[in-house]
Structure 1
């Protein structure tokens, strides 16, 4: 059953608000590195639980091996291309003015945020339940994406007003991505749906392993920080069982 676009838009406002809150908070006082690492581990566990508990069972039920191969290949390829382009922008900006460096960061993050919004649309293509749980997972990820962007801009000397305005503008790309996904992907069945869901699963796994956990591991690990990943996984999985 298709999910109304108005419902997708309403729920998407949650991660949008989280992105803005993260940016505003960091504009005034950035959280400690260990706190960020803890929450990034927790968010990674939550996202992983959505993939394992919701998307993979939907993919398995479709019984479309070709769709799985195509979707996973496309998902990994797109995420690798996005990362490569983001790194190229950052390398190009090195040695130039702070504003040029900021522009490279903003463009790279904008693409990332747009993809997150698109993944929300992918989730709702599988149903309201999957989409809603994905909203929960990506809200945490986008919260600390807002923190990271704001912290980088503050370090480069940007004013609080500019930091908050930039993060708020980036957050709107979540809406654009979710509306695109919600419009283009609703009503898909068979092979097409299998490709889309597999693409989403691969992209989310990439987000967990190559972005959230990679950045989180830049801080020295402690048992508490490591356990946050499993706490996030269990928390979301229990939510799945109770709904």
Structure 2
């Protein structure tokens, strides 16, 4: 069961979740308030993945120093990528390509997020197939509202539907490539290194959820009393899904 085909199959789910969320945005009206709720829910799901599934597992086996270092490196990696993207955006803006730049910034941001999803699933599969299944479930749940927000933003910027759908479908590339990379690199490594890789990815995802998703939610629409409830709902949804999957999947 612990094979590259299982890993690639699980990695497909976040891409399909993202694409499904995009299709929902295509066939329904989108508003800033809808985006606000969707992104709050996605952030809650990601925080739940980190705090409920990843951190308790690594705390059992890794030293506090190693956890701190790996988590910090993951956060720093995300900040570094973000700086590179901002620099690219600034250069393109100075060249008078603002409309195209905004579209590619959206694409790059989602590309990075799905690449992180693939790393998480690949690293989780190196620990055990059941871990990979639970992490994939969490990521697909988070990617549905993210896909909705992505297509809604592109619709708002006047991108043609055929191009929107092509861009959405292309997100399968980063998640599959990252999952395969993590699987082959980590599968024969010591348990400590596998769990450190999970912690690294947790740091990256936490920064993405807090700095990007919540910030974009606030920019999309004014918070209401439903916004924190959407965050809580995302968190609780993953807790319930994780508990259900742990009850039916073999543990290793």
TM-score by length of 2: 0.84
1:69-218 matched pairs, under 5 angstroms:
69-94=68-93, 95-96=96-97, 98-218=99-219
1:69 deviates by 2.9
SS of equivalent residue, structure 2 residue 222: coil
* Deviation larger for 230-239 or 175-184: 230-239
1:105 deviates by 4.0
Contact 2:13/2:140 (8 A) holds in 1: yes
CA distance change for structure 1 residues 36 and 133 in 2, over 3 Å: closer, same or farther? Answer: farther
Tell me how many residue pairs correspond in the alignment.
Answer: 242
CA distance change for structure 1 residues 19 and 30 in 2, over 3 Å: closer, same or farther? Answer: farther
SS of equivalent residue, structure 1 residue 232: helix
Partner of 2:225: 223
1:144 deviates by 3.4
Q: How far apart, CA to CA, are the structure 1 residues paired with 2:160 and 2:61?
A: 51
Q: How far apart, CA to CA, are the structure 1 residues paired with 2:198 and 2:32?
A: 34
Partner of 2:250: none
Instruction: Could you tell me which runs of 5 or more consecutive residues in structure 2 were left unpaired when the two chains were aligned.
Output: 248-252
1:118 deviates by 1.4
Q: How far apart, CA to CA, are the structure 2 residues paired with 1:155 and 1:130?
A: 38
Q: How far apart, CA to CA, are the structure 2 residues paired with 1:103 and 1:229?
A: 27
Partner of 2:243: 241
Q: How far apart, CA to CA, are the structure 2 residues paired with 1:100 and 1:225?
A: 29
Q: How far apart, CA to CA, are the structure 1 residues paired with 2:239 and 2:204?
A: 20
CA distance change for structure 1 residues 56 and 107 in 2, over 3 Å: closer, same or farther? Answer: closer
SS of equivalent residue, structure 1 residue 158: coil
TM-score by length of 1: 0.86
CA distance change for structure 1 residues 110 and 8 in 2, over 3 Å: closer, same or farther? Answer: same
SS of equivalent residue, structure 1 residue 217: helix
Q: How far apart, CA to CA, are the structure 1 residues paired with 2:243 and 2:163?
A: 43
Q: How far apart, CA to CA, are the structure 2 residues paired with 1:81 and 1:176?
A: 21
CA distance change for structure 1 residues 64 and 105 in 2, over 3 Å: closer, same or farther? Answer: same
Contact 2:122/2:180 (8 A) holds in 1: yes
